[in-house]
Chains A and B, each alone.
Chain A
Amino acid sequence: MSKYRITVDGKTYEMDVELIGANGAAVQPVAKAAPAPVVNAPAAPATAASKPAAASTGAVTAPMPGTILKVLKASGDAVKAGDIVLILEAMKMENEITAPVDGVIGSLSLTEGSTVAGGDLLFEVK
């Protein structure tokens, strides 16, 4: 929580300002930033985790047409968000399909070698 005093045309307003992040937690207030100067620190290679596409629903659909290369979980398995459930070979790539949320896998009936069309339901996480 920060206190701001804003003066507009001679009138002074006092405000308590708290920035709320996406998860509802308070975040640091943002200072009026100058263009970021170059800092003398190596860029930290972040982990290569993709943001889940449909995090709110738990239903995971095929992002593109392809072939199921590996099935790493089965219906009834407990998973954490980000766990790899399937590997979809498509567009010259082995694409990791991950659980969007924590939960239990359901509706997973694909086997290795199954072909899927873009938009097909792959599995759900409940």
Chain B
Amino acid sequence: MDSMWQNSIDRLNSRKEAVAAAGGAERIAKQHSSGKLTARERMEALFDDGTFVELNDQISSRCSDFGMDKKKKPGDGVVTGYGYIHGRVAFASSQDFTVGGGSLGEAQAKKICQAMDKAMVMKAPFISINDSGGARIEEGIDSLTGYADIFYRNTIASGVIPQISVIMGPCAGGACYSPAITDYIFMTDYAQMYITGPAVVKSVTGEEITSSALGGAAVHSATSGVAHFVYPDDLSCLNGVRQLLGYLPQSNEDISLEVPGTAVDNSSALADIVPADSKKAYDVRNVINSIVDAGSFFEVQESFARNIVVGFARLDGETIGVIANQALYMAGSLEINASDKASRFIRFCDSFNIPLLTLVDVPAFLPGSQQEHGGIIRHGAKLLYAYSEATVPKVSLIMRKAYGGAYIAMNSKGTGADMVYAWPIAEIAVMGASGAVSIIGKKAIESAEDPKAKREELLNEYNEKFMNPYIAAEHGYVDEVILPEETRSKIAGAFKMLKTKERELPYKKHGNIPL
């Protein structure tokens, strides 16, 4: 090798070393001492061991304002590339807080967009790890355009490839909107997301609030519903991302990863889990766990709108999405947050060809001015819209209560359910006995000699006639009334039969879901 070769190689090596050194030993030590991994260590943890390949490591900022040309920004504050997760390719970006606080400028955005574009062409998932102070102020509106370029790609990729955002540090201002457009947001306990931080909040409203009380993981998982998954630290969080991807297909043209195993039928436990007295509560997650492949249920948004439970599971090795009313919380009523949570989950599953299992035990939509003024009409409508629009196989089990509008909203026959099963303890009716008798029996009760006895008589009559699944079965709204111990085999059989389901919606640009 002559000396020209050697000089060129030395130059390349020194450039590569500069990128690998990131923000320097001191900043890396600081990142570690705060319990965090560096951007590259996160990539190594996300992908199958040794499979991460970095891309575009030399992209750097063109900005020369404010002396920016003198400040070295190795990698421009982000690491991008691809690797394999459960042996399947995926693309990712990981912001590097040690380099310029991970701030996003034109070049960082370009790097991220190149990785996103590859994910789209390869029809593979995209994972964005966020740990950034926000826009790089020195780069002005080029930085804002960088965000816009990412939001645009997030939107175009929505429903084509799974997009997952992982928040592992600050994520402030416009930076929040890329995660918000993606399918799932993971947060670590020390991450924060807010549109305006505590300093701005104080200067504008006078309110004093800590960053974690304003936008920490607890807030976004339980109160705002912005985050779907929360983990204590980087490693467990990235393992959570891997676990989720294990349920998902690579794209809307793919089918989910099948995980074969021994199917165990725990349906015999169901009659002990669910009390026949519909006034008594139980934890519907025990029902889900008894029906699906053992240990396969992976709950989504478990701390938000707990009156409805959603998540992925496997049935005979194949991924399904489960939506279930939770009697343990708010009696399983539907309200604004539960409608939003379930609708978004249903639409994700439908986008990615994941069949839906709906477990119904719902008393009603929650009454009250708080709900009406909050717009339960347009929020509840999302649930009807999402179920009606979904063309994937849709199977329902009416366990106990199914009343009124809430019955229609929970994947009823009329909104396109393929198979509707009910247990013999099911109560399927337009409304509860007490309400119904007060209306349709009003005159009879008023004119009776003993109104109290008459009311009692009418109540018993209504209960006897309507508090069962048989009118619904006679009218064809329930396909079959089944025994609890038959539950898994019937549901698995239905999904097997529905594998070849084909249903096309009429041509449209897109529907207009009530938002």
Contact = CB atoms under 8 A, between A and B. Distances in A.
Interface stretch (B108-116, B117-125, B291-299, B449-457): B291-299
Nearest to A38: B261
A36 B246 contact: yes
A30 B233 CA distance: 11
Given A38-B264, A42-B269, A50-B329, A30 B239 contact: yes
Chain A interface, >50% SS class? loop
A65 B286 contact: no
Interface band, chain A: 35 or more
A72 interface: no
A121 interface: no
Contacts of A17: 235
A45 B294 contact: no
A46 B331 contact: no
B329 A20 contact: no
A91 B331 contact: yes
B333 A43 contact: no
A19 B281 contact: no
Contact of B363 (A38, A48, A51, A92): A92
Contact of A22 (B232, B282, B295): B232
Q: Which of B44, B328, B363 neighbours the largest number of chain A CB atoms within 10 Å of its CB? A: B328
B232 A19 contact: yes
Interface stretch (B61-69, B156-164, B271-279): B271-279
B401 interface: yes
Contacts of A117: 368
Contacts, number: 161
Contact of A64 (B278, B281, B366): B366
Contacts of A6: 37, 41, 44
A83 interface: no
Contacts of B296: 36, 38
A17 B35 CA distance: 8
B286 A48 contact: yes
Interface string B83-100: 000100000000000000
A35 B247 CA distance: 8
A41 to B, nearest CB: 6
A12 to B, nearest CB: 12
A32 B242 contact: yes
Interface string B395-419: 0000001010000000000000000
Contact of A40 (B19, B260, B290, B294): B294
Interface in A1-33: 6, 8-11, 13, 15, 17, 19-22, 27, 29-33
B327 A45 contact: no
Given A40-B262, A50-B329, A93 B363 contact: yes
Contact of B281 (A13, A45, A96, A118): A96
B501 interface: no
Q: Which of A21, A50, A119 neighbours the largest number of chain B CB atoms within 10 Å of its CB? A: A50
Interface string A39-77: 111111111111100000000000111000000000000
B46 to A, nearest CB: 10
A35 B241 CA distance: 11
B41 A13 contact: yes
B141 interface: no
Given A10-B20, A32-B49, A41-B294, A63 B235 contact: no
Contacts of B37: 6
Interface string A94-126: 111000000000000000000001110000000
Given A43-B266, A45-B273, A64-B333, A35 B86 contact: yes
Contact of B44 (A8, A20, A35, A43): A8
A110 B59 CA distance: 67
B285 A38 contact: no
B294 A92 contact: no
Interface string B255-272: 001011111101001001
A81 interface: no
Nearest to B277: A94
A36 B259 contact: yes
Contacts of A43: 264, 266, 269, 286, 289-290, 294-295
Interface in B283-318: 283, 285-286, 289-290, 293-296, 303, 306, 314, 317
A8 B40 contact: yes
B293 A38 contact: yes
24 contacts: A6-B37, A6-B44, A8-B20, A11-B20, A30-B235, A32-B242, A38-B262, A38-B264, A38-B294, A38-B314, A39-B261, A41-B294, A43-B264, A44-B289, A48-B281, A49-B283, A50-B328, A63-B329, A92-B279, A93-B278, A93-B279, A94-B279, A95-B281, A119-B370
Given A36-B295, A45-B286, 14 more contacts: A6-B44, A27-B232, A30-B235, A34-B246, A37-B259, A43-B286, A43-B294, A44-B289, A48-B281, A50-B306, A64-B330, A64-B368, A93-B327, A93-B363
